[in-house]
Chain A
Amino acid sequence: SQKIEQNSEALNIQEGKTATLTCNYTNYSPAYLQWYRQDPGRGPVFLLLIRENEKEKRKERLKVTFDTTLKQSLFHITASQPADSATYLCALDRNTPLVFGKGTRLSVIA
């Protein structure tokens, strides 16, 4: 069966550092991989989408990589700020409903 793993349930980093979150998957060949941010008691907010033929994508302080050989995506937040503290979800997509990982709860400490 399809499996998505986000490497850490929780990650604490110091303000200003780069946060790196990992998403691994098995038994799936996604056409896209998406990253979302979810704050407590709120719905997920779309951040970035990367296609299977793209290696890297950037948006402001965010960077996503997608390695279909390793079946892995890395999500980076550079110059992290306390306001970046949230749960980040990766989701696999093949033009069907998204399949989500459990998320990584990021805490950026001032």
Chain B
Amino acid sequence: GAVVSQHPSRVICKSGTSVKIECRSLDFQATTMFWYRQFPKKSLMLMATSNEGSKATYEQGVEKDKFLINHASLTLSTLTVTSAHPEDSSFYICSARKAGEQYFGPGTRLTVL
């Protein structure tokens, strides 16, 4: 298998602040990582594809200026939710591929008050 970690696992912030979520591939290198969002009782929805050393590719309807993605190394991608609002409260999950299989981090629960 492969291990993907996320930090933090939970974060509560005030409306208008920014929150950074880290995603790391612990035992392999990942040139591409994926960020998903999951609302309660809903499926995972792909937000963006993070590419090491280049710009992220965002899915339709996802604001790139609001969800900043940085993939500075082969083992780390970060997602920054800027000027967070209550409607951004969700479960954010990152993922990376290894040998064709996609492995997921444990998720970050974001609550915006």
Binding site for B on A (CB under 8 A): 32, 34, 36, 41-46, 49, 89, 91, 93, 95, 97-103
Which one of B4, B42, B91, B101 contacts A102 once the chains associate, using CB atoms below 8 Å?
A: B42
Name the segment of B12-20, B67-75, B77-85, B105-113 touching the other chain: B105-113
- Point out the residues of chain B lying under 8 angstroms from A41, CB to CB: 91, 107, 109
B102 and A100 form a contact (CB under 8 A): no
B109 touches A44 (CB 8 A): no
Interchain CA distance A93-B102 in the complex, whole Å: 10
- Total residues of chain B contacting the partner, CB 8 A: 21
The answer to whether B107 and A42 touch across the interface, beta carbons within 8 angstroms, is yes
Tell whether, in the assembled complex, residue B101 and residue A100 are in contact, meaning their CB atoms are under 8 Å apart.
no
Q: Which residues of B contact A93 (CB under 8 A)?
A: 102
CA distance A98 to B49 in the complex (A): 11
Q: Which of chain A's residues have a CB closer than 8 A to the CB of B21?
A: none
| 16 A-B pairs with C-beta separation under 8 A | A32-B100, A36-B104, A43-B4, A43-B105, A43-B107, A44-B44, A44-B93, A45-B104, A93-B102, A97-B34, A97-B95, A97-B102, A98-B46, A99-B46, A100-B43, A102-B43
